[in-house]
Structure 1
Amino acid sequence: MQGTDHTKIRHRQSSLQLAFNGVRALALGAGILTLCSAAAAFQIAPMGSAFESKLTNETEDSLATVAGRLGVLIKGRVHEEITQIAMGCPVEPAGLAQDPVCSARDLPFATPYVIYGVRWNDLPPFKLAPEEGNCTYLGKSCKVSETIRFSTQPLCWYCLFKDAEKKAQTKPIVGCRKVAGTQRGNLMTRSHFGDLQFLHAMASEEGVHPGATRAKVLDWLEFAWKVASREIKPDTFLRDLDNPTLQEHFGCTQWRVSDLYILGRQDKLLPYLHHVAFGSVLHTVQDSFAAAHATREASPPGGTCQDAAWPRPRRIVEFHTYGAQDGHLHDDQDSREAMTHVSVAEKWPDAVEATRMLSQLYDDRALWAEVQPYMQCLFEIADERHNSSPGEPFRRR
């Protein structure tokens, strides 16, 4: 049970404190604070946890080498750190920028399955359909008969990622709605460069009204939360869901919910699918506070959310789109430094605060009907709003 998992973890915190202090010393000594930035979201690490390591034959050195070629998308544990802090990792807001201990691997506060889910938006498992081709890099081609994930076919993953990055400059990458002038993508390339950028709280193309992107984001969060709360069962076909965004982007597939999240790992991960789905909710919400993903107002409007007691966060002015952004300029806003720079005494960064609220709702086993008002508030559109663009500070020159 969700609440039981986290309650047990928190009851263990006092007995873990001595060991945790040792982790803090190691983290500070290793200079984790100097981590660089990411490419399509807050950073994630090449490998999520010891549990994830057991699911691959690749060494962590080989994964780190390929991650290095990607630049900064897969480098540091920013999403993971935000989640660990929100779920009980003992660090104070005022000291967060100088104390990276909650970015250490295999901390006990969030389960490894939630961390797996937090990483899912960037690293979803997929198979290549016949019309999606193959890719060869350094003499290695994709094993198309097997599920592809970064941790098991890193060279294939890298090749597909870089190929899509180039092709997306001239042709939109889509899934179900392939028409002339578009190209079909897989789940990973669609998430980063195509029609599924709402997984990262971004628009899929320029000129889109923020209300349209908000609707897709909220549809996605409704689906993912309902999986997390077990209102939607793992064997449900995506095409059968009464959800406009899921129908538009997955209605042509034969996928079940479990195929979307844990393809090829159903035997090991199916009992924990609700945790994975919850992690994917957190990723989308956390990304919405990264400046290269969405521009929010400089300060919150004050007051509390309508139909809810939570303080209103800064409202969204514009959702950005990645295609015409300069990757390096985007990266600067996805780093640990960007996440922590607003951290002051008694105030968490916005992404941490939102994750804390959602974690409490998850602990309470809240259904979507209870969560929806807060989600709507998190993605409230400002009175002065703009259609999607790369964002002038991030535009490729």
Structure 2
Amino acid sequence: MADQQEPIFTPTSGYESFIYIYNKTKVDFALDSSKAILGSWAKGCPPNTIKAGAQALVQLNDSFGFSGSQGEVVYELYHPSDPDTPLSFKVEFCDPYGRWNDNYLRTKSSNPKLVSCQVLDYNLTGHPFTGHVEVYLTENSANEMTEAGNTPYETNGDAHAAFEIGFNGPLGIKIRDPVHEDIAIAAFIASRMRFPKGTEYTNLDAAQWEYMRGLLWSDDPLCLLFEDSRESNSELAVGEKFLGDFYAGAPSSLTQRSHFGDLQFFHAMAAQSNEDPHKTKANMLSWLETIYKLAIGVQDVRETDSLADRFPTRFSSYSDPSGDASLRQLFLGRTPSYRKANISKRAFGHCLHMVQDSYAVGHTLRRLANPGDLDGKDGEGFFRFKPGRFARLGPIITFHTYSGQSKRHAHYDESKQSRSPRDLESFNHIIGARDAVDKSIKLINLYAQKTKWEDGVRDFFANEVFVLDSKATLSNPQVDERFGSPDTSSESTLEADRFADEEYQLVVFLPSHSSGVWSNSLADAQAPF
């Protein structure tokens, strides 16, 4: 037996469950579903992938110290002879609180002739509970599945509600709701880069977190929300450095520029009111061309390239980071120590963020294709859609700006209702989320095939995601004032991309350090996530 993984943290109550699953096959196991009946999952649990030949720890903690721990996980795998038909196995376990109940560990295979689970000896009493399961895959043809009377498991629809998912910092402080991450996970699950169906924000592995670091980079471009750890890429800091830079940072800071200055296009927003929408779009396309090429790694952009060389009008000796910094340093920010940083994945995560933000009500006004599905406004005056319906958004009419916006912006960026990345309908209540998932799936598939910028990616961004309405207007600091109104709803005529060639000729000059152009009022500013 391989060396056993240590518990994720020392238990305090003694009624935790530590279940070790040993993958004795040559294929990976992907998490299909999980349920914490009693207790709460430890960080990163249950793991969403168990690699071939590896072991993984499923740790369920006793939340209150007197309730025990009880849970179940279902993993999916594919037989090499039939890679299109899923097999699965379930592991159920419990360390009950109370002297009259025994510990238990049991398994069930969807096809015992092909997938066999061996529960090793364990103690029926005693705490905490430690158990071991070995999983084997026979060499028999997968055609025998039909002879096994295979009955798929019922997945529990309440598994997501076992604990509240949130972007939690130290001491359980909730920093924000991980809407971006959930949208990205949902898209990966449905894409050709298929994440396991049971993947959620709380069980992302380190490799998947690299995409999320890029996704979060757009909001936190100096990486101030994370600890500078050599071994972990998901260790959150308290957040005081980010808040300090956000509310009182230097105008040349990347945090200030991306939220209030010339780099607001990171969020599909204009740099200032009354900006021509073609200029905003041009800024986005010019930036994305370099970042996407960096992400796929097969074109002429390298992570060692300097910012001044790639973005001469954006970075200089006065900016933070300076023009001498590399693209790699740009995405690492203040956390350069992580030894497995993947700049390609981080760059791609940033691309996903820009796509997703472009469908958020506070960021852009898009033409609403289905105004008949609107269900008026809720008690707080925010737009909502009829049950089972969701917004279908068309071309961009107006890019918004952060400065001068009301607090209504935050409502449309967040969600009080729970979401499950595997269930797209759980995103219906977030206006724009379904379109964001759909476009993210398409972009992930282009990335998976390493499609070159000029072979369809530029066209996807310019003519599908950031396409302008025929009645596009100058930018403004509104939020939802015109959303769903007669003049911004129903069928529209898309604007031909007549500025396609001119957009690449636009030069957006970086303001001098002394000009003060980067300075924008922070009065009533919201942390714009």
Q: TM-score, normalised by structure 2?
A: 0.49
Whole-Å separation in 1 of the counterparts to 2:179 and 2:216: 10
The Cα offsets for residues 17-60 of structure 1, whole Å up to 9 and x where unpaired, read as 8589999745313355xx7xxxxxxxxx245xxxxxxxxxxxx2
Q: Which residue of structure 1 aligns with residue 478 of structure 2?
A: 391
Query: Quick one: which of 447, 459, 483 aligns to 1:373?
Result: 459
Q: Which residue of structure 1 aligns with residue 17 of structure 2?
A: none
Q: Determine if the alignment matches structure 1 residue 209 to structure 2 residue 282.
A: no
Q: Which residue of structure 2 aligns with residue 54 of structure 1?
A: none
Q: Determine if the alignment matches structure 1 residue 233 to structure 2 residue 330.
A: no
**Residue 361 of structure 1: how far off its partner (Å):** 0.9
Q: How does 1:88-107 map to 2 (within 5 A)?
A: 88=189, 103-107=200-204
Q: Determine if the alignment matches structure 1 residue 84 to structure 2 residue 185.
A: yes
Query: Quick one: which of 400, 404, 407 aligns to 1:324?
Result: 404
Paired residues, number? 294
Aligned 8 A contact 1:24 1:101 in 2: no
Query: Quick one: which of 332, 353, 359 aligns to 1:283?
Result: 353
The Cα offsets for residues 137-193 of structure 1, whole Å up to 9 and x where unpaired, read as xxxxxxxxxxxx9944622322222225xxxxxxxxxxxxxxxxxx63311121112
Query: Quick one: which of 312, 321, 329 aligns to 1:259?
Result: 329
Q: Which residue of structure 1 aligns with residue 413 of structure 2?
A: 334
**Residue 75 of structure 1: how far off its partner (Å):** 1.1
Q: Determine if the alignment matches structure 1 residue 249 to structure 2 residue 314.
A: yes
SS at match of 2:314: helix
1:331 corresponds to which letter in structure 2? A
The Cα offsets for residues 70-124 of structure 1, whole Å up to 9 and x where unpaired, read as xxxx41111110111111179xxxxxxxxx9765312369711001111111112
Whole-Å separation in 2 of the counterparts to 1:123 and 1:235: 21
Query: Quick one: which of 211, 220, 225 aligns to 1:123?
Result: 220
Structure 2 unaligned blocks of 5 or more:
1-26, 32-48, 50-74, 78-87, 92-152, 192-196, 225-233, 318-322, 371-391, 420-424, 483-523, 525-529
Higher relative contact order (CA 8 A, sep 6+): 1
SS at match of 2:262: coil
Structure 1 unaligned blocks of 5 or more:
1-6, 36-44, 48-59, 69-73, 91-99, 128-148, 165-182, 301-311
Are the structure 2 counterparts of residues 332 and 110 from structure 1 closer, same or farther at C-alpha, using a change threshold of 3 Å? farther
1:206 corresponds to which letter in structure 2? S
Q: Which residue of structure 1 aligns with residue 382 of structure 2?
A: none
* CA RMSD in angstroms, aligned pairs only: 3.9
1:364 corresponds to which letter in structure 2? Q
Aligned 8 A contact 2:361 2:479 in 1: no
**Residue 10 of structure 1: how far off its partner (Å):** 7.1
SS at match of 1:385: coil
Aligned 8 A contact 2:400 2:475 in 1: yes
- Identity across matched positions, percent: 25
Q: Which residue of structure 2 aligns with residue 199 of structure 1?
A: 266
Aligned 8 A contact 1:89 1:102 in 2: no
1:189 corresponds to which letter in structure 2? Q
SS at match of 1:87: helix
- Which is richer in strand? 2
Q: TM-score, normalised by structure 1?
A: 0.64
Are the structure 2 counterparts of residues 75 and 102 from structure 1 closer, same or farther at C-alpha, using a change threshold of 3 Å? farther
Q: Which residue of structure 2 aligns with residue 52 of structure 1?
A: none
